[in-house]
Structure 1
Amino acid sequence: MSSSVPNIWYVAHYAGGPGIGRHSRGWYLARTWVKHGARATVIAANRHHMLDASQPSGPQQVEGVDYHFLPAPAYSTNGLMRVLNMFAFTAAFWASQRQLISLHGRPDVIIASSPHPFSFIATHRLARLLGARSIFEVRDLWPASITEIMNVSNRHPMIRLTAAVERFGYFHADAVVSLLPRTEEYMRSRGLTGDRWHYIPNGIVRDEPSDRPPGSPIFALIDEWRSKGLCIVSYTGALGVPNNVDRLIDAMALLKTRNPSVRALIVGRGDVEEQLKAMVASLGLSEQVRFFGQMPKSVARAILKHVDIGFIGLKPSPVFRFGISPNKIFDYMVSGLPIVSAIEAGNDIVAEAGCGISVPGAGPSEVAQALDRLACMTPAERDVLGSKGKCFVESKHDYELLGRTYLKITGWG
């Protein structure tokens, strides 16, 4: 250990941050660690699909947090180039170790954050060479997420390689941090021993700034709908197949006659965006459902403060038996929104917090019933549910608390 002040490297291939892109966990944790006297650097790829734009290779500061972007080739689909991007990032980390140490200091702790586990090979090797603590952070269970969601064979060479690296991480890491609450038994069956399993989920920051740009079309629409006494449901996030946003659209089709006062805002981008828009048009829902592209987080926070209900869904998958930790739920909670959750998983955050209605494994009719039930409540009744979620997330998922817990795992704190 180099000093009484820990130097932490958080190596996360897909890291984002304010003004950079989605997946800001590393930024929030690093900011908390620095606040408590540590030195911290987030190390990420300069090209990946979570970034708003490619970043120049090398060091930069992201709103007070040190970052270092490593070169990785561009990709546009989940094909060969994305796989090459993964391995290139891992290779770049290993090749850049002297430069990283020169610029950011000798690390006392190196955290390799998945979803893919390949970077752990390089981070663990360097940690052992430097006498640093090696931590394996697991956001998603690879390869289980691939085999169970995408129906890829366990015999596929890439799956076998991923499984071998996963086992290596569980067996060799000084600590394993899971974002999912029900993974300990699974990890122990694959090499984890002792008391090295820790649960640190995604989180929130209290009182983050929100921004309502003047003349913004989405806020003009919200104001128009509210002036008419309509109830507004919002989905903010990725528009991909797993997100099950089509379930919300089908439910809105049922509500068109059952409760015509309900409107839906879908805010985000993704692979199925055009398909969802076509679905809305074919169902004659252009007045009930409106789309807006991905917004800066400060604007998204302002949107959530001006709507009535938050919706989240995930397509059913066996891998969700290990639990979920979606940022979207926590964003809704900290905004004080009651939630309709159409997710079947090993944990039920909405039910645990008592902040809305869970309809696990539900079809459009059940989702429509849940939305209708919340829409028929008075604003005060919805506020009671929203307040429960806000209290829950602030007491259990504040990044200040999570960051301090992480420091204890590193050996400081």
Structure 2
Amino acid sequence: MRLLYLHQHYSAPEGATATRSHALAHALVRRGHAVTLACGRYEGAVTGLDGPFAGGRRDGTVHGLRLVEFDIPCGNSQGFGARAAAFGRYAARTGRLAAGGDWDLVIASSTPLTVALPALLARRLRGTPFLFEIRDPWPELPRAMGGVPGWALAGMGHLADAACRQAAAVVALSEGMAQTALSRGAAPERVHVVPNGCDLDLFGPHIPAWRPMEAAPWEMLAVYAGAHGRANGLEQLLDAAALLLARGEHRIRLMLVGEGSEKPRLQEAAATRGLHNLSFMAPLGKRKLASLLAGAQVGLHCLAPVAEFAEWTAPNKLMDYLAAGLPVVSNLPGHGARLLAEGPCGIATTPGDPAALAAALSWMANNPSPRIAMGHAAREQAVRRWDRRLLARDFVAIAESAAESSSLVSLVAA
């Protein structure tokens, strides 16, 4: 089949951002399908294309995957207006690509939600079926976070309704996200859950360990690797670091790796508060990050205390920590807390409670043997339940079924 995969934020493992679409696209290629993936220029992403842009795009084939990269910068450090403009530009460019090609299936991976526009256009003009993937439910999460104009939320709601109702298949990353699709009118038989998975080759105990100079040999290194945005609530980690220092705890170093709109403010606050037990690093490519996690003792996961995050998020970083064999300290309830309870492979604290985060980190430092056992349980769970190759197989089967069932409907109608 000829497949068009729309993911504005695509990156290969050489980049510093999520690689789910990279794995799924290559699984489709290995299955024998001709896949074209269209993306923009996302902050921290690496596509593998390095030639000049011509007419605002560049094309190439990397390991059997055809890539179309549009010269549309986008990232968490941009303001609402700049990001919205980038979303619109990408939808316009990919709309022409989707409607102008003879595709058997369009895969629209959200966020941003605007990737649904070219898929809906191709369906309307050419009858092309599409698979709608929900990696973050919009407008549900932006509404919960606040700060988004009402007109924008209303527009997102209409677009999400159309995408869920007209998709040949909907793939959600969690049961909570699947419920949002059902509430928007998606047919239950078309809704599937394919969670985030673990890259067991890229991360794991077989990877050579690396520790940055800031981390002393005697320190327990706890790493947060991800976006530094408003939704991440990283002020809580600064508060936890301050509490540890106030208690005379000098065995623990918090390392925050990544980029985002909140990072300059967080760095300034950490310096003002004298948090010498907390360090910042620029985003790392996934391979370098794998070495850092191999040299760490704890994975940190943090989100702002927003109730909707409990079931509507599926963090990539959590999967990376499990694959690396790291015990996790998290403040995510619901889905994430249940995952950590299995094994157990980590400690889930109360959202919005820096004192609980500090206590969990102290426990990890005071109990090395149980901590190591949690790390082993994390890797075991990753192998048993979250192997990305097995989850990719499920995604491929759903995509093939969506295209084939739509073809049969077209034949019957004819």
Corresponding position of 2:307: 318
Structure 2: distance between partners of 1:274 and 1:74:
18
Q: Which moved more, 1:60-69 or 1:389-398?
A: 60-69
2:165 alignment partner in structure 1? 171
Residue number among 362, 366, 382 corresponding to 2:356 in the alignment: 366
Describe the SS at the equivalent of 1:381: helix
Mapped to 1, the partners of 2:63 and 2:400 lie a distance apart of: 27
Q: Where does 1:272-283 land on structure 2 (aligned, <5 Å)? A: 272-283=262-273
CA distance in 2, matches of 1:237, 1:183: 21
Give runs of aligned pairs for residues 117-266 of structure 1, distance below 5 A.
Answer: 117-127=113-123, 130=126, 132-152=128-148, 156-208=150-202, 219-222=212-215, 225-226=216-217, 229-256=218-245, 257-266=247-256
Verify: 1:28 aligned to 2:23, yes or no.
yes
Residues 320 and 346, structure 1, Cα contact 8 Å, conserved in 2: no
Higher relative contact order (Cα pairs below 8 Å, separated by 6+ residues): 2
Percent identity, aligned pairs only, is: 25
Equivalent pair of 1:71/1:89 in contact (CA under 8 Å): no
Structure 1 window deviating more from structure 2 (191-200 vs 300-309): it is 191-200
Q: 1:251 to 1:20 in 2, by over 3 A?
A: closer
- Relative to structure 1, the CA distance from residue 219 to residue 212 in structure 2 (aligned partners, 3 Å threshold; closer, same or farther) is farther
CA RMSD, 1 decimal? 2.7
Q: Could you tell me whether the CA contact under 8 Å between 1:14 and 1:50 is conserved in 2?
A: no
After superposition, the Cα gap between the structure-2 partners of 1:50 and 1:260, relative to the gap in structure 1 and judged at 3 Å, is: closer
Task: Assess if the C-alpha contact under 8 Å between 2:99 and 2:126 holds in 1.
Answer: no
Number of equivalences? 391
Tell me the CA shift for residue 351 of structure 1: 2.1
Secondary structure at the aligned position of 2:175 is classed as coil
Secondary structure at 2:304 match in 1: coil
The secondary structure found in structure 2 opposite 1:318 is coil
Deviation at 1:39, TM superposition (A): 2.6
Q: Which blocks of at least 5 consecutive residues in structure 2 are unaligned?
A: 405-414
- 1:293-312 map, 5 Å: 293-312=282-301
C-alpha distance 130-201 of structure 1, shift in aligned 2 (>3 A): same
Alpha carbons 2:136, 2:177 under 8 Å: kept = no
User: C-alpha distance in 2, partners of 1:259/1:59?
Assistant: 53
* Separation (CA, whole Å) in 2 of partners of 1:12 and 1:151: 25
The answer for the alignment partner of 1:7 in structure 2 is 2
- Runs of 4+ with >6 A deviation: 73-76, 209-213
Give the corresponding residue for 1:331. 320
1:67 matched residue in structure 2: 67
